[in-house]
């Protein structure tokens, strides 16, 4: 480790490398000699090994199963983030983020993390503190995208606001339980107060769901292919778009019972595709007061998404051209003619699906997107942290 003299660090690039190697070596010793590796998320959203406690690590010791591991521990991929980890004797990977501040204490002070996880969290903290002390003297690499921080800002804000709301909800529930046992207040009055507090809890739930939708939208600033829950993406999109359409006095109705269906691709692409379809339907429905209805169902090996409106409809001669680049039925200056082109490209090229449009003048339009569903993991396999099939 670097030697401190008179409050200053006497170190250089070699000392930094040695310090990192020593941290990994000590973590490996604590884990019974198992190799410990540091990975960094690349611009391709892949975990690339940076260093290992083993002088010549084998493929088995550093080839992290990204999908199964990150889902097992609930970690999101963010470009530039780093993780330290080691393969457990049972075969799965135990990982912890590299950070400069220790994690929050466990709920109610009860420690549930394993010895391996605690060891790796300590190693990640040591690596983060070493980076913070050593790296400012080195040239700071130029960011590939200067707007990347702005892209993640909504998710950060949503996360920070959702936390106190969740705490407030828990406090309200405790107050409601206490009120239910408060015999000094008449039973009728207690029921009235509990009903009023229950409405506040419902309002908090709606707010938290709205913030969760913003976080889902802000996730995944990198364009990548990953396994994701399509139902959650559709629900998040509908939640946000319903707020947008409220100003136009256009109701957005979505009612589906599917809990989860996993697809392989870019969740942001699916989100943007649905936004295009909803806003096209909204443009056709202005002034009519009729709702836009979103449907989602799984039929056999396909996921069927429908967007139905009761708007102006499309003439037969125009219906044949709606997927032509630059063609639009909107007034001059109101449409680029590229929205449905992008939708069709996402459906066909990314998800290997199909899109159909049924419309008639003054009779509304129904857009049906059919996406093939890859083999799904069983619940038991997901809990065991096995690799994704989808």
| CB burial string 311-328: b at 16+ within 10 A, e below | bbbbeeeebeebeeeeeb
How high is the pLDDT of residue 333? 45
Q: Going by C-beta distance under 8 Å and a sequence separation of 6 or more, which residues neighbour residue 298? A: 258, 261, 304, 373
Per domain, the residue ranges of the chain are: 3-137, 148-219, 226-372
Gap between the Cα atoms of 49 and 62, Å rounded: 7
How high is the pLDDT of residue 44? 62
Q: Which two tokens stand for residue 18?
A: 């040695």
Domain topology for 226-372: Heat Shock Protein 90 (3.30.565)
DSSP structural state of residue 64:
-
How high is the pLDDT of residue 136? 46
Q: For residues 358 and 365, is the Cβ–Cβ distance under 8 A?
A: yes
| CB burial string 25-63: b at 16+ within 10 A, e below | ebbbebbeebbbbbbbbeeebebeebbbbbeebeeebbe
Gap between the Cα atoms of 178 and 157, Å rounded: 33
Q: Which two tokens stand for residue 237?
A: 């999109």
Q: Which two tokens stand for residue 185?
A: 């207040």
What is the greatest pairwise CA distance in the chain?
82
Identify the helix (H) or strand (E) that includes residue 302.
strand 302-309
Strand order in the sheet with 365-372: 252-254, 292-299, 302-309, 365-372, 354-359
How high is the pLDDT of residue 231? 92
Gap between the Cα atoms of 132 and 141, Å rounded: 15
How high is the pLDDT of residue 81? 79
Place of tokens 């020593």: 22
- Segments of the chain with pLDDT less than 50: 1-11, 135-151, 220-223, 332-333, 379-389
The whole-model pTM stands at 0.45
């Amino acid at each position: 480790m670097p030697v401190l003299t008179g409050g200053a660090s006497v170190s250089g690039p070699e000392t930094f490398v040695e310090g990192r190697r020593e941290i990994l070596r000590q973590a490996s010793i604590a884990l019974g000699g198992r190799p410990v590796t540091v990975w960094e998320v690349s611009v391709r959203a892949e975990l690339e090994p940076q260093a290992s406690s083993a002088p010549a690590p084998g493929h088995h010791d550093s080839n992290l199963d990204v999908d199964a591991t990150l889902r097992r521990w609930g970690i999101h991929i963010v470009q530039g983030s780093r993780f330290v980890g080691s393969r457990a004797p049972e075969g799965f990977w135990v990982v912890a983020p590299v950070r400069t501040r220790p994690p929050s204490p466990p709920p109610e002070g009860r420690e549930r993390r394993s010895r391996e996880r605690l060891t790796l969290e300590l190693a990640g903290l040591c690596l983060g503190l070493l980076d913070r002390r050593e790296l400012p003297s080195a040239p700071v690499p130029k960011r590939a995208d200067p707007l990347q921080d702005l892209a993640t800002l909504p998710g950060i804000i949503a996360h920070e606001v959702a936390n106190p709301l969740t705490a407030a909800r828990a406090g309200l529930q405790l107050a409601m339980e206490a009120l239910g046992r408060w015999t000094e207040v008449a039973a009728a009055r207690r029921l009235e107060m509990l009903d009023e507090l229950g409405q506040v809890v419902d309002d908090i739930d709606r707010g938290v769901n709205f913030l969760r939708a913003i976080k889902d939208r802000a996730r995944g600033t990198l364009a990548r292919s990953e396994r994701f829950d399509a139902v959650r993406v559709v629900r998040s999109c509908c939640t946000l778009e319903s707020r947008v359409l409220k100003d136009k006095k256009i109701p957005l109705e979505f009612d589906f019972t599917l809990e989860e269906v996993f697809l392989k691709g870019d969740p942001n692409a699916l989100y943007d595709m649905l936004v295009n379809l909803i806003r096209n339907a909204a443009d056709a429905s202005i002034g009519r007061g009729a709702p836009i209805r979103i449907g989602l169902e799984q039929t056999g090996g396909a996921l069927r998404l429908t967007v139905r409106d009761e708007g102006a409809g499309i003439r037969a001669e125009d219906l044949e051209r709606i997927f032509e680049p630059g063609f639009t039925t909107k007034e001059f200056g109101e449409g680029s003619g590229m929205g449905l082109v992008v939708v069709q490209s996402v459906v066909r090229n990314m998800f290997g699906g199909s899109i159909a449009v049924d419309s008639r003048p003054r009779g509304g339009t129904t857009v049906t997107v059919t996406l093939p569903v890859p083999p799904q993991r069983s619940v038991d396999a997901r809990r065991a942290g096995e690799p994704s099939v989808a």
